[in-house]
A and B are shown apart, each in its own frame.
Chain A
Amino acid sequence: MEHSGLIPTQLRRYRDRGAPDLHLQFGNRQLAQLVSVVLVAVVMTPVAFIIIRAIGAGQEGIEYLLQARNLRIVGNSIALMVTVTFLASLIGVPFAWLTSRSDLPGQRIWLVLGLLAMVIPSYLTAVTFTDAFGPKGALQQLLEPIGVDRLPNIKGFVGACLTLTFVTFPYVLLPVRAALLYSDRSLEEAGHSLGLNRWQVFAKITLPQLQPALAAGMLMVALYCLADFGAVAVMRFNAFTRAIFLQTESFRMDKASVLALVLVAMTVLILMLRSRVQHRGRHYRIGTGANRQLQTVQLGKWRLPAMLFCGTVVFVGVFIPLLVLLDWLSGRTLTNPIHVSMTELLRNTVGVSTISALTVAVAALPLALLALRASSRIDRWLVNLAYTGNVLPSIVIALALVFFASQNLLSLYQTLPLLIIGYSIRYLPFSIGATHSAFAQINPRYEEAARSLGLSARAALLRITLPLARGGILAGLALVFLNVMKELPTTLILRPIGFRTFATRIWSAYDEAFLSSIALPGFVLILVSGLVLIVILRHNDSLH
C-alpha cells in the first residue's frame, strides 16, 4: 500500500487488522461477493464439465490418451512451445534493446511496426506464410533464377514455429523494453567503470536484471503457443488445440474432453513452474537511486546490421502478410461465390466484440473490488477462481460450452449469448487485471474525502473511484475487444447458425482456397485491430 502513510492513524489501524475497507463495508461487500460467486460459478462450468466428461470416459479415456498418436500430441505441443518461446526471445530481446537503449534511427516507428505483428491474427499470418514460403510461393519465384526449382513444404512443425514466433515476439518485446527503460542503470555504469565491455555488461548485468520481465514475456509466449489454434490448424501441425478441434467438430465429446483436460493440466503446470522461478532472487533496486537519463548506446558500425535486423523482423511479421493479402486482392484465385457484405461482417464482428468487452468489463468490477480489498480467504479464492480463464485455451471453453448447451441448456444452444459467455470466460482475467490495477492506483484519500463530505459508499464508488479508474478500465476493455475480434475457435464452435464474423469468413475462405476472398476481410480486420492497438498503446506507460 504505497499510500498508507497518508491515511489517518485510526483508519490505518483499521486496515492493518484486515478489516473491511471503506468501499465494501456498507452492504456493498456482500453484493460484490454475491455477484462474484455467480460469476465464478459460470467461469468454472467449463472446467467442471470437462473434468466430469474426462473422468466419465474412464478406462477408455486413458487408453485413448496412451495411444502413441495421442502421446505424440503432448510431445508436439511441448516442442512447439519450447522452440517458439526460445525463438521469440531471440527476436524480442534485441528488438527491445534496440528500440530503448540504442541510437537506432526511428525507434518509435520500429516499435509500433513490431507490435503490429501481434495484432495480425495467427491464422492470417499462417495462411499468408504458406503462400509466400510454399513450394512454389513468392520466395521460390525469387530464388528461381539461382536454380531453386521448388522449396520444401513448410507445413507442419517448421511453419507453425515460424508463424508463432513472429506473432508472439512482441509479448517478449513489451515487458523487456519496459524493464530496460526503468531498470537501474547505475549498475551498468559501475560495470563499465570496472572495465567490462559492452557485451559483457549486457550479458552480466543487463540480462540478469531483465530476468523477471523476460520470464513474464516468455510465459506469455509459452501460454500463447499452447492455446493457439489458428497457426497450428493452418499449418496442419498436430498440437493439442488442433486435435481437440477435430474431435469437437465431429462432436466426439469424451475424446475431446480427455485431450482438453491434459492441455489444461499442462497450462497449470507451466504457471506453477513460473511462480516457483519468480520467487527466486532479487531484481529490484534497493536505494531509490537517480532515474536519470543514461546516454544512449552508440551503435556505430552496428547501425546497419541493427536496422537490417529490425527491418527483416518487421518485413516478415507484418509486411509479408500485408503484401500477400494485397496480391490476393488482385484476384489470381477463385473467389467465394457467396457474397457477404463487408457491412454485415463489420457489424457482426464489432457488435459482438463490443458487447463481449462491455460484459467482461462490468463483470470484472465486483471481482476487481474484491481483489483490491480482499480481506477474507473467501474473497481471495473467488478472485483466484475468476482467473480460471487464463488457463483455459478458448477451444477448451468452446468445446465445454457447446456440449453442455447441446445436452443440458438447449435454450442457449447456438445462440449469441452463449458465444458471448464463451468469450467472457476466456477474457475476464484481462479485464479484472486492468480494472484492479486502475483501482489500485487511485489514492484512497479521494474517496475518504468524498465519504467525509457525506456521500454514501456507493455514491463515492460511482462518482469518485470509477471516473478516476476510467482510463485503465477502458484500456482493459480495448484489450478484450481486440482479442474477441480476432478469436477463431470460439467463434467457429459457438456461433449461432448463419452468424459470420471476419474470423469465420477468413476461415471458410481458407478452407476452400478462396484466397481472394480472404484479402478484404483480412485487411479490415488488421486495420481495426491496429486502431485498437493505438488506443491501448496510448495508455501504456512503457511507450512514453
Chain B
Amino acid sequence: MMLYKRYLTLFVLTFVLVSVFAIPALTDESDALTIYSGRNESLIGPILAQFTEDTGIAVEVLYGGTSAVANQILTEGDNSPADVFIAQDGGALGALAAADLLSELPEATLDRVIDPAFVSPDGVWVGLSGRARVLVYGPETLEAMALELPGSILDFTGEEWRGVVGWAPANASFVSNVTAMRILLGDEETSQWLGDMIANDVQSYPKNTPIVQAVIDGEIAVGLVNHYYLFRFLAEDPDITAALHFFLDGDPGALINMAGAAILKTSDQPDRALMLVDYLLSDDAQEYFASTTFEYPLVETVEPAVDVPSLDEIESPDIDLSDLDDLQGTLELIEESGALD
C-alpha cells in the first residue's frame, strides 16, 4: 500500500517538473530572433527557414494578420518581445513609425531598393516585395451570368454584381486599399461604398487564397485580391480557369502596395535583426519572392518571374505608401460599415 503513496508523490513531482521546466524549454529558445509577421506563414516561412539554415540564427515567428500584429506591438509597447516586424502592407509599418516604435535602418540597406516609393521617408522601414491589387475572375462564371468586367471597383455596387463579388475585409492588403480610397475619395464616399457593397451581398472571406479558391470553384464570379495568389494555384494546376484583371486610369482598385520589414526599437539584438532584413533584400531572397510567391522583386538585379505588367505599366492611383498610415482610422471605418460582422 505504501507503493501507492510513493507512486502518487512521484507522479505529482514528475508532472510539476515537466510542466515547469521541460515543455517551456522545448519551445523557448531565448536567444532566437523574435519576428512578428503579418505575412502568412506559407509565404514568408520558407525563406525564414532558409535564413536560419544559412546563418545559424534561430527565429521564432508569431503569425497573425498585419493589422492585428501591428496593434499587438502597439499594445505591448516597451514590453514587446519582437525584434523584427514583417508587414504585408505599408500602412501598418507607417502606423508603427508614427508611434515612434521603429529604429532607423542604415543607408546601405535602404539603397538596395531602387524605387524610393518602397522606402520609408524617415528610413525606418523598407519594402521587401511589391504587389498589385487586382480583380481575379472566373471567365466561365462571368459568361454564364452574362457579366462584363467593370472599369472600376466602384462599379461593384451595381445590382448585376449582387452576391457574386468576394473580398477579405480583415486582410491588411484590403485595409490599405480602403485607406487609399479614403485619400482619393474622402471618408464619406469610401464609407458609402463599403455600405453599398455590403448591401449588395458582397461575400466575405478570411484571406486572399480562399477568395481565389472560391472563384475557381465558381462560388463567386470575381474577387478583390493581390495579384500573386492566382499564380500559386496555377503552379499546382495549370488548367485552372481563372484570370486577372488590372484596373486602369488610376482606379483605387489598382493600388500598388508592398510587403516590408522594420526593426523595433525595443529589439535586444538589433544587429541580428538587421542581418535578417538584409538577407530578405539579398538576391536569393528576392529571387524567392519573384519565383515562389510570384511577387514583384524590389531590387535592381532580380526580375519578376511571371507574366504580369511591370510595376511601371500598372495605372495605379497616385498615392504615397507612407501616407497610408492611418491604420486605426481605416479599421474603424471598416468595422463601423459592418463588413466584419
Residue numbers of A with Cβ under 8 A of B are 69, 72, 134-136, 150, 153, 155, 236, 238, 243, 246, 249-253, 333-338, 351-352, 355, 358-359, 362, 406-407, 410, 413-417, 420, 459, 462-463, 466-467, 496-499, 508, 510-515
Q: A334-B233, A334-B236, A355-B15 are in contact. Are A513 and B209 (CB under 8 A)?
A: yes
- Cα A498 to Cα B35 in complex, Å, equals 10
- Cα A236 to Cα B201 in complex, Å, equals 14
Contacts of A514 in B (CB 8 A): 42, 209
B residues 11-59 touching A (CB-CB < 8 Å) = 12, 15, 18-20, 23-24, 27-28, 34, 40-42, 45-46
Digit string of B157-180 for contact with A (CB within 8 Å is 1, else 0)? 000000100000010000000000
| B4 x A462 contact (CB < 8 A) | yes
| A406 x B79 contact (CB < 8 A) | yes
Stretch at the interface among B245-253, B272-280, B333-341: B333-341
**Nearest chain A CB to B52's CB is how many angstroms away?**
12
- Cα A253 to Cα B77 in complex, Å, equals 14
**Nearest chain A CB to B8's CB is how many angstroms away?**
6
Contacts of A420 in B (CB 8 A): 19
- Cα A407 to Cα B80 in complex, Å, equals 10
Stretch at the interface among B63-71, B126-134, B312-320: B63-71
Residue numbers of B with Cβ under 8 A of A are 1, 4-5, 8, 12, 15, 18-20, 23-24, 27-28, 34, 40-42, 45-46, 60-65, 67-68, 71-72, 74-76, 79, 81, 163, 170, 203-204, 206-207, 209-210, 212-213, 217-219, 232-233, 236, 331, 336, 338, 340-341
Contacts of A253 in B (CB 8 A): 75
Contact of B46 (CB < 8 Å), options: A252, A337, A414: A337
Contacts of B209 in A (CB 8 A): 334, 512-514
Closest A residue by C-beta to B336: A69
| B79 x A69 contact (CB < 8 A) | no
| A512 x B42 contact (CB < 8 A) | yes
List 11 A–B pairs whose Cβ atoms lie within 8 Å, in order of A's numbering: A69-B338, A134-B219, A136-B219, A251-B75, A355-B19, A413-B79, A417-B19, A459-B5, A497-B62, A508-B63, A511-B206
Closest B residue by C-beta to A414: B81
- Cα A135 to Cα B201 in complex, Å, equals 14
| A497 x B60 contact (CB < 8 A) | yes
| B68 x A136 contact (CB < 8 A) | no
- The binding surface of chain B is classed by DSSP as helix
Contacts of A249 in B (CB 8 A): 64-65, 68
- Cα A539 to Cα B57 in complex, Å, equals 50
Contact of A153 (CB < 8 Å), options: B18, B72, B203: B203
- Cα A392 to Cα B27 in complex, Å, equals 28
| B218 x A250 contact (CB < 8 A) | no
**Nearest chain A CB to B138's CB is how many angstroms away?**
11
| A362 x B12 contact (CB < 8 A) | yes
| B42 x A338 contact (CB < 8 A) | yes
Closest B residue by C-beta to A410: B79
- Which 5 pairs between the two chains have the least Cβ-Cβ distance? A513-B210, A251-B75, A238-B341, A251-B71, A513-B209
| A463 x B4 contact (CB < 8 A) | yes
| A417 x B65 contact (CB < 8 A) | no
| A358 x B1 contact (CB < 8 A) | no
Q: A134-B219, A150-B218, A358-B15 are in contact. Are A513 and B60 (CB under 8 A)?
A: no
| A512 x B67 contact (CB < 8 A) | no
| A135 x B42 contact (CB < 8 A) | no
| A338 x B46 contact (CB < 8 A) | yes
Contacts of A413 in B (CB 8 A): 79, 81
**Nearest chain A CB to B258's CB is how many angstroms away?**
20
**Nearest chain B CB to A184's CB is how many angstroms away?**
41
Contact of B23 (CB < 8 Å), options: A243, A355, A463, A512: A355
Contacts of B338 in A (CB 8 A): 69
Contacts of B62 in A (CB 8 A): 414, 497-498
Contacts of B207 in A (CB 8 A): 511-513
Closest A residue by C-beta to B63: A508
**Nearest chain B CB to A120's CB is how many angstroms away?**
21
Other A-B pairs beyond A358-B15, A406-B75, A417-B24, 6, CB < 8 Å? A250-B71, A251-B74, A252-B71, A414-B62, A498-B27, A511-B206
**Nearest chain B CB to A75's CB is how many angstroms away?**
12
| B5 x A359 contact (CB < 8 A) | no
Contacts of A407 in B (CB 8 A): 79
**Nearest chain A CB to B26's CB is how many angstroms away?**
9
Closest A residue by C-beta to B60: A497
| B341 x A250 contact (CB < 8 A) | no
Interface-centre pick from A249, A250, A359 (highest chain B CB count, 10 A): A250
**Nearest chain B CB to A126's CB is how many angstroms away?**
13
Contacts of A414 in B (CB 8 A): 62, 81
Contacts of A136 in B (CB 8 A): 217-219
| B27 x A512 contact (CB < 8 A) | no
- Cα A150 to Cα B20 in complex, Å, equals 54
**Nearest chain B CB to A142's CB is how many angstroms away?**
15
**Nearest chain B CB to A463's CB is how many angstroms away?**
5
Contact of A513 (CB < 8 Å), options: B28, B71, B213: B213
